[in-house]
Chain A
């Protein structure tokens, strides 16, 4: 059964590799949005330092939203989704594989790029590990929750806007915890509580989102 998980993850990574442009778009979007703020807000170092975690988090959130629609759309269009629904491998496990591959391709690079972007905001070096940790815990949760929205809106016209409307309210707790973690670290309070809450949110999403996605896919495919 876990052999199937490995092969499905490998398949999605291979597909992403052969459709590099789509993945690159998400990353480029993240870099551009985060870079617009220093240009728009002006070179006031104190202001930039204080908005940095929030801006980077919002940019990461929007970038992860941008990639959501491609999670199931191609499989739905070419009939692979039907094969997944009829698979002897439990659908929840296939969903886990797809979400994991999606995060490795569109979430993990955001985590890696964030410290570089933080340079533009002159974020103190001791806050960077907290920012990275909050993104490493937060972006998988965003992908898991987003997958529910993507599965529900499958095959609907204007799916990407609808997905955003469904999913953004659910992103709010992650955004608040993630952005304030870095701020707390900068203020010297310590970010442990924020990071633990983010981890709890991630565990909760990992436990329940695959089941919700599986149910949503069955409804959408009918």
Chain B
């Protein structure tokens, strides 16, 4: 269970949000909405522990995340604004490194299957610099089918540059994750067609 307790976020002189609290139970989805610059990415970075809130605390399973950083990292899959994908490496090599960094134990075959699931089998052995923006995003998303054991997914604009098929595929992955009792936090400008029992929305800015 992820808890945000009275989070304040200040960027420069501007207060992006203050006293923000919510609780995300197992198997539920949190969608963060708001206009550009309202602090969606900042909130996600705070939830991951990449940034410190000006005030307040994030807790995972009752423990403050800054006190159990490595333990928390094992539970978490974060897909940032940037893809974290190396242009010089192939999709296959990128996925292998991503799995090692995430601590996902995935065999060669399961990685190939994940790439196929994201529709990348034809270009799995090409350097990523030759791929389109949408395909690069798919390479970054290829971690998700392998991350079924991670109870928390934090996804920053996962649908950027994706075509309709890939959006539907990614939504299916999230639905499976929610059904399996995992939690998903995401920001998105598109409507998300996920009928989760416990979906909630945090609206920032405005």
Contact = CB atoms under 8 A, between A and B. Distances in A.
Given A15-B86, A79-B81, A82-B82, A87 B97 contact: no
Nearest to A85: B50
Contacts of B127: 18
Interface in B75-109: 76, 78, 80-89, 93, 96-98, 100-103
B81 A18 contact: no
B73 interface: yes
B144 interface: no
B83 A4 contact: no
Contacts of A78: 82-87
Interface string B140-178: 000000000000000000000000000000000000000
B45 to A, nearest CB: 8
A18 B158 CA distance: 29
B73 A86 contact: yes
B198 interface: no
Interface residues of A, number: 26
B83 A221 contact: no
B81 A86 contact: no
Given A15-B86, A88-B74, A82 B80 contact: yes
B52 interface: yes
B70 interface: yes
A14 interface: yes
B43 interface: no
A77 B158 CA distance: 18
Contacts of B81: 79
A77 B87 CA distance: 12
B89 to A, nearest CB: 7
B95 to A, nearest CB: 12
B161 to A, nearest CB: 14
Nearest to A77: B82
B100 A8 contact: yes
B51 interface: yes
Contacts of A87: 73, 101-103
B49 interface: yes
7 contacts: A7-B100, A15-B88, A79-B80, A79-B84, A83-B78, A83-B98, A87-B102
A-B residue pairs, 6 tightest by C-beta: A79-B82, A88-B103, A79-B84, A18-B88, A88-B74, A87-B101
